[in-house]
Chains A and B, each alone.
Chain A
Amino acid sequence: MDKETISTTFTTFLWGVPALLWQVLFFYVPLIFLLASSFIKHSESSFEITLEHYRLLLDPVYLYVLGRSLLLALTTVTACLIIAYPVAYYISLRLKRWKTLFFALLILPFWTNFLLLVYAWYFLLENDGLLNMVLLHLGFITEPLHMMNTQAAVLCGMFYCYLPFMLLPLYSTFERFDERLLDASSDLGATQWQTFTRIMVPLTLPGIKTGALLVFIPAFGEFVTPSLLGGDKHMYIGSVITHYFLTMRNVSVGSAFTCLASCALILILFMVFMGHSLLTKKEHHG
């Protein structure tokens, strides 16, 4: 190796390694630290390994919290998928001239601070908010509808904030979709429904999966939108984590719960993955 190559290799290493170091120090070490703190009871003098923090979590209330977060995440994913799928199809495959514009309009809310999006919903849903004012004015109702601080408002807000996360991967997949397959399928005599279920859905499945993951994983840990729009009446995984880490400043139980919730998430994803591969295996054999 000549001198130049050696110095280049060294330079590349010198400037390339900080990223890796950063990642290890601030991503992997904290995760290990979280796991470790959940097992350690640490006071002025002593230092022992214990399952005490996890025992505190055996209360069924934590199961309800996990269940509630799961339900919220699932409903959000389903709602987003159902609404987003046709939209992505239309913009990608049916629009010719205005495609870029519509695409830009699609991702603009994605690039807006989600707190502002939540704030916008205050404006609309409050008892003296715009929606009620309009309905009262038009005479459809006599009393303002009570929409804020309800589960419906929470779902609305979640759906609103996460829709772009589902739209973008779907759009991207449809972009790579060969439209001629649809024509070929109908030429060969398939009904629309058959074309849809046998051609379109399976081929866009990667996009559906990416979108579902991009929505499900953050929605599972979401707590800000539910607390702002739901009156903070329920605790979700994120609320419990905030409660222990920031309000009560109890790192041990907080880490234990975070680990528990993460295990639940991994378990759920694993089951979905298993279910999916079982289904595809069946199709191959059947």
Chain B
Amino acid sequence: MDSLWRVFQDSVLRLWVACTYLFLYIPLIVLAVFSFNEIAFPYRWVGFSLRWYRELAISAEIWEATKNSLIVAGSAVFLSVTLGLFFVMWCSQQRRGNYLLSFFYPNLVVPEIVIAVGLLSLFVFLNVPLGIPSLIVGHTLLGFGYAVPIIYTRFNVLDKRLIEASLDLGATHRQTFVKIVLPLLMPAIVSASLLVFILSLDDFLMAFFCGGTSAQTLSLYIFSMIRSGVSPVVNALATVMLVVSSLLVMVFCSIKTKETIW
């Protein structure tokens, strides 16, 4: 009797998990499938067609938005990860290092809308032109919230004796940094970069408030398309972005199997 109960429990559990995954993925699969549909709507399957992908490829608006998104994301990653890295290094040499690091923890706790709105009011007050630079500033700020803790966590578990040994053996600080510390921190740097990159690409709130209407990013473009109705070009775009995300996830997971970051 007991084992029957266990089997029942097991199957319920498996069903639960299966349903959850189905629920998570059916909308995405539907999106992808209908990006190949011949007509716009109603949602009947008419025939296979690459028409929407062609439209996607020639859309100047989408390329502009993609270019902007990539510039912002790339800059945000570069700035937050490198500056974050140097910050962690600086903190490690200070006596009150922990105190300085905690300056960055509220980034994850305060709702993004409050941060965005605060930045917007400051920018408006200072007459800062809203556009790509203001957006990069905002995304880098959010990026610090992830990059600093991730890099610091990894740095903390490093064996400090390696650094001491390197210095004792006559290497300069710079050599120690480049040849010892950096490679050891690399998994954290890469996962922080991936996280910030995706965060910036998918971000909507910060772009909505601080991008002005001039800096069109992918999120803003999708938002304006959704607001005007349904367009299969968005389906095609969504499928492309899903593929890109999957690749990034694969990279992230392969790092994760080597180290536990979370």
A interface vs B, CB < 8 Å? 4-5, 8-9, 12-13, 15-20, 22-24, 26-27, 29-31, 33-34, 37, 83-84, 86-87, 89-91, 94, 100, 102-109, 111-124, 126, 128-130, 133, 160, 163, 168-169, 172, 175, 213, 217-218, 220-221, 223-224, 228, 237-238, 241-242, 245-246, 251, 254-255, 258, 262, 265
Closest to A8 in B: B173
Give the CA-CA distance A218 to B174 in the complex, in Å: 41
The 10 nearest A-B residue pairs measured at CB: A16-B90, A30-B118, A120-B27, A19-B87, A15-B86, A221-B111, A8-B173, A221-B113, A19-B83, A113-B202
Contacts of B57 in A (CB 8 A): none
Residues of A within 8 A of B113 (CB): 221, 223, 237-238, 241, 258
> Is B34 within 8 A of A160, CB to CB?
no
CA distance A119 to B41 in the complex (A): 14
> Which chain B residue lies CB-closest to A159?
B23
- A89, A133, A224: the one contacting B43 at CB < 8 Å is A133
- Which of A108, A119, A217 has the most chain B CB atoms closer than 10 A to its own CB? A119
Contact B106 A108 (CB under 8 A): no
Q: Does B13 contact A (CB under 8 A)?
A: yes
Residues in B with CB closer than 8 Å to A228 are 226-227
On chain A, the residues within 8 Å of B25 by CB distance are 105, 109
For chains A and B in complex, what number of residue pairs have CB atoms within 8 angstroms? 229
Check if B141 sits within 8 Å of A128, measured CB to CB.
no
Q: Which residue of B lies closest to A113 (CB)?
A: B202
Within 2-36 of B, Cβ neighbours of A (below 8 Å) are at: 13-14, 16-17, 20-21, 23-28, 30-31, 34
Evaluate contact between A22 and B24: CB separation under 8 angstroms: no
Please tell me if the beta carbons of B13 and A111 are within 8 angstroms of each other in the complex: no
Across the interface, do A33 and B218 meet the contact criterion of CB distance under 8 Å?
Answer: no
Give A226 Cβ to nearest chain B Cβ, in Å.
13
Residues of B close to A34: CB separation below 8 A: 114, 117-118, 121
Besides A19-B83, A26-B141, 16 new A-B residue pairs in contact (Cβ under 8 A), listed by A number: A16-B89, A20-B87, A31-B115, A90-B14, A115-B219, A116-B222, A117-B28, A122-B226, A124-B27, A168-B262, A218-B111, A221-B112, A238-B113, A245-B121, A258-B113, A262-B110
- Complex Cα distance, B209 from A223, in Å, reads 13
**Total number of B residues with any Cβ neighbor in A under 8 Å:** 85
A104–B121 touching, CB < 8 Å: no
Distance, CA A160 to CA B21, complexed state (A): 11
| Distance in angstroms between the alpha carbons of A123 and B31 in the assembled complex | 7
B187 within 8 A of A: no
Cβ contacts under 8 Å, B93 to chain A: 9, 12
Task: State the Cβ distance, A85 to closest chain B Cβ, in Å.
Answer: 10
- Could you tell me which B residues sit within 8 Å of A by CB distance? 13-14, 16-17, 20-21, 23-28, 30-31, 34, 41-44, 83-84, 86-87, 89-91, 93, 100, 103-104, 106-107, 109-115, 117-122, 124-125, 137-138, 140-141, 144, 148, 172-174, 198, 201-202, 204-205, 208-209, 218-219, 222-223, 226-227, 230, 234, 237-238, 241-242, 245-246, 248-250, 252-253, 257, 260, 262
How many angstroms between the C-alpha atoms of A218 and B111 in the bound complex? 6
B262 to chain A, nearest CB (A): 4
CA distance A18 to B148 in the complex (A): 13
Taking a contact as CB atoms under 8 Å apart, the answer to whether A128 and B42 are in contact is: yes
Q: Which of A30, A218, A221, A265 contacts B119 (CB 8 A)?
A: A30
Do the beta carbons of B90 and A123 come within 8 Å of each other? no
Partner of B17, one of A5, A30, A91, A217: A91
Contact between B141 and A37, CB atoms less than 8 A apart: no
Q: How far is the CA of A39 from the CA of B2 in the complex (A)?
A: 67
Interface of chain A, helix or strand or loop or mixed?
helix
> What is the distance, in angstroms, from B94's C-beta to the closest C-beta of chain A?
9
Chain B residues, CB < 8 A from A18 = 83, 86
A/B interface sample: 5 pairs, CB < 8 A: A22-B137, A112-B28, A115-B219, A116-B238, A255-B121
With A87-B16, A221-B113 known as contacts, the answer to whether A251 contacts B124 (CB < 8 A) is: yes
A133 and B87 contacting across the interface, CB-CB below 8 Å: no
Q: Are B209 and A245 in contact (CB under 8 A)?
A: yes
CB distance from B14 to the nearest CB of A (A): 7
Q: Which chain A residues border B201 with CB–CB below 8 Å?
A: 113
Residue on B nearest A172 in the bound complex, by CB? B262
Are the CB atoms of B114 and A124 closer together than 8 Å? no
Q: How far is the CA of A221 from the CA of B122 in the complex (A)?
A: 20
Q: Which residues of chain A come closer than 8 Å to B250, judged between CB atoms?
A: 104
In Å, the complex CA distance between A23 and B118 comes to: 13
Cα distance A84–B173 when bound, in Å? 47
Chain B residues with Cβ below 8 Å from A126 are: 43, 230
> Nearest B residue to A119 by beta-carbon distance?
B226
With A91-B17, A254-B117 in contact, is A104–B27 under 8 Å at CB? no
Q: How far is the CA of A225 from the CA of B160 in the complex (A)?
A: 47
Complex Cα–Cα for A258 and B209 (A): 14
Complex: A118 Cα to B28 Cα, angstroms: 10
Shortest Cβ distance from A111 into B: residue: B245
- Do B141 and A27 touch across chains, with their CB atoms under 8 A apart? yes
